[in-house]
Amino acid sequence: MNYKDMSEELAFNVLINRIYSKTCLDFSRYKRGYIKRRISGRMRAIGVNSYAQYLRYLEKNPEEYAHIMDSVAINVTEFFRDPGTFFAFRNEVLPEILSRKIGRKSRGEKVCGEAEKWRGNVLGSCDYGARSDCEKHDGDDGMRATGCVGLGVRREALRSGAERSGTERSGTLRIWSAGCASGEEPYTIAIILLEELGDNLGNLLVSILATDIDDDALKKAMQGFYQPFSLKNIPPNILKKYFHSENGGYRIKDVVKRLVRFRKHDLISGEKLQYFDVIFCRNVMIYFSRELQERLFMDFYNSLNDGGFLIIGKTETLTGEAREKFICVNVQERIFRKPPR
Ligand SMILES: C[S@@+](CC[C@H](N)C(=O)[O-])C[C@H]1O[C@@H](n2cnc3c(N)ncnc32)[C@H](O)[C@@H]1O
């Protein structure tokens, strides 16, 4: 094909279509500026300076398609990334779910989501329960904060322990880490569940599904071997309990690994998954167009059991129809709930 007379904009569109036809990755739904920056970075690295030239390069070097994926996917992650979010997961989300699944009463602890106070607290009890200056202890469930426009406060619904969806199974706990990168997020969730429920997992059938589009990231996740920098948030006792030290790094123990199932899945074109109690999709949709974000928020809504929780990244915002559908339960940690039936 002759790309010589094509404008750069047109060549970019052709490139996006070509990538889709060769790899099934649909970058037309990502933020255009973001995809351009990432692909341009790759082009600079191989000494190509126009999209037209890059199209020719791809024709001669089809193995280059694999590098595009590497350049576009940002896999930055770590264990207990944004500790306050996991603190809220353990102290606000889990008690609610466990009360429905196994009739377990909330531990009755007051909770405080201040990230800097998390150390020793995500995995233990909150030392700040008695503090009257803690935002979440003033009886309004942290809903004073703005940002939940149109969602309304349905605290009565949130507190009902008797809700049960027609679709969920009471003896199972299904969690989805969507865009799991190299596995730190789903393994963090598994560690919290083991700490909260003990080795027998409260007799629940626990399944954590972890998905991503990036093969290399998934491979690393399945290996479960990590360098110290991605474990810096983990207290020493937890590190010792759930990891083997090995060749200067750490390997996750089988007791954690067996709770997580990794699978390749594209949030944009993949099959619609269902019946989850909690979905984590953090720091993934920031790269997507607003239109796509709106669609995916509704996909997540439909993937959740009634009363299930959606947890998004701390810099992300719920948009579109989903704003009206979800109840915001922790604005600071971006935790939303599908109303219980
Ligand atoms: C920054 S990482 C987020 C990892 C983890 N959720 C966290 O917050 O630490 C973003 C991940 O989203 C994945 N991703 C990007 N587009 C995706 C898509 N269409 N479907 C599934 N995963 C995608 C990338 O491969 C990458 O691993």
Q: Specify if 180 maps to a domain.
A: yes
Q: Are residues 93 and 47 in the same domain?
A: no
Q: Enter the DSSP assignment of 138.
A: S
Same domain, 57 and 93: no
Q: What is the pLDDT of residue 121?
A: 58
Measured between its terminal Cα atoms, the distance across the chain in Å is 57
Any idea what the CATH number is for the domain that residue 206 is in? 3.40.50.150
Residues of the chain with pLDDT under 70: 1, 105-170
Give distance in angstroms: CA of 128 to centre of ligand 1.
33
Looking at the CA of residue 266, tell me the nearest atom of ligand 1: 20
212 lines ligand 1 (CB under 6 A): yes
Residues 107 and 20 in one domain: no
- CB of 75 closer than 6 A to ligand 1? yes
Taking CA atoms only, the protein residue closest to ligand 1 atom 11 is 179
Q: Express each pLDDT in 225-271 by its tens digit.
A: 999 999 999 999 999 999 999 999 999 999 999 999 999 999 999 99
Asked if residue 1 belongs to a domain, the reply is no
Range of the domain at 28: 8-72
- Indicate whether 116 and 252 sit together in one domain: yes
**Predicted pLDDT at 102:** 82
CA gyration radius, the chain:
22
307 and 332 part of one domain: yes
Q: Is 52 in the pocket of ligand 1 (CB under 6 A)?
A: no
Mutate to test the pocket of ligand 1, among 30, 212, 285 (most ligand atoms within 8 A of CB): 212
Domain count, the chain: 2
CA angle at residue 174 from 173 to 178, to 5 degrees? 150
Buried b (16+ CB within 10 A) or exposed e, 98-129: bbbbeebeeeeeebbbbbebbeebbbeebebe
Query: How many Cα atoms occupy the beta-carbon half-sphere of 253 within 13 Å?
Result: 13
Taking residue 80's Cβ as centre, other Cβ atoms within 10 Å add up to: 26
Q: Measured from the CB, is residue 76 less than 6 Å from ligand 1? A: yes
To test the ligand 1 pocket, which listed residue (74, 284, 310) has its Cβ within 8 A of the most ligand atoms? Answer: 284
* Cβ of 81 below 6 Å from ligand 1: yes
Q: Where are the beta strands (DSSP E) in 71-198?
A: 172-178
Give the pLDDT confidence of 301-336 residue by residue, as tens digits: 999 999 999 999 999 999 999 999 999 999 999 999
Q: Is there a single domain that holds both residue 124 and residue 273?
A: yes
Would you say the CB of residue 282 lies under 6 angstroms from ligand 1? yes
Q: Is the dihedral of CA 125, 131, 137, 142 positive or negative?
A: negative
In a shared domain, residues 16 and 113: no
Domain assignment of residue 77, yes or no: no
| Residue 167 covered by a domain | yes
Nearest ligand 1 atom, CA 267: 20
Residue 7 CA to ligand 1 center (angstroms) comes to 31
Task: Please check whether residue 211 is in contact with residue 180, taking contact to mean a CB–CB distance below 8 angstroms.
Answer: yes
Q: Is 255 near ligand 1, meaning CB less than 6 Å away?
A: no
CA of 14 to the centre of ligand 1 (A): 25
Q: Following CA atoms 172, 173, 179, 181 in sequence, which dihedral angle do they give, to the nearest 10 degrees?
A: -100
Q: Is the CB of 73 under 6 A from ligand 1?
A: yes
What number of other Cβ atoms are within 10 A of residue 132's Cβ?
A: 6
Helix/strand/coil (H, E, C) string of 253-295? CHHHHCCEEEEECCCCCCCCCCCEEEEEECCCHHHECHHHHHH
Q: Is residue 285 part of a domain?
A: yes
User: Which of 190, 266, 175 shows the shortest CA–CA distance to 221?
Assistant: 190
Q: Classify residue 184 by burial, with Cβ atoms within 10 Å: 0-12, 13-18, 19+.
A: buried
- C-alpha 180/C-alpha 192 separation (Å) is 16
| pLDDT in the model for residue 139 | 31
> Are 210 and 89 within one domain?
yes
Please tell me if the CB atom of residue 273 comes closer than 6 angstroms to any atom of ligand 1: no
**98 and 45 together in one domain:** no
Contact yes or no for 111/92 (Cβ under 8 A): yes
Task: Give dist(CA 246, CA 168) in Å, integer.
Answer: 40
Which of these three, 51, 72, 93, is where a domain ends? 72
> Which residue, 158, 154, 161, 189, is CA-closest to 261?
189
Q: What's the 297 CA to ligand 1 centre distance in angstroms?
A: 15
Give the pLDDT of residue 1: 67
Distance between CA atoms of residues 184 and 78, nearest Å:
5
Domain-terminating residue out of 72, 100, 122: 72
* Residue 165 alpha carbon to ligand 1 centre in Å: 29
Decide if 91 is inside a domain.
yes
Q: Taking CA 192 as the corner, what is the angle to CA 188 and CA 197, rounded to the nearest 5 degrees? A: 150
pLDDT of residue 157: 32
124/271 same-domain check = yes
User: Which protein residue has the closest C-alpha to ligand 1 atom 9?
Assistant: 77
Q: What are the CB-based long-range contacts (under 8 Å, 24+) for 118-124?
A: 118/80, 118/83, 118/84, 118/86, 118/87, 119/83, 119/235, 120/235, 121/87, 122/80, 122/83, 122/86, 122/87, 122/90, 122/192, 123/90, 123/191, 123/192, 123/195, 123/235, 123/238
CATH number of the domain to which 27 belongs: 1.10.155
The confidence score (pLDDT) of residue 126 equals 33
Residues 153 and 218 in one domain: yes
Structure tokens at 247: 């060749």
Report CA(179)–ligand 1 centroid distance (Å): 3
- Domain boundary (48, 72, 96) is at 72
Residue 177 lies in a domain: yes
Q: Are residues 36 and 144 in the same domain?
A: no
- Residue 82: name the closest of 111, 112, 118 by CA: 118
Is 190 within a domain?
Answer: yes
Which tokens belong to 52?
Answer: 């037209």
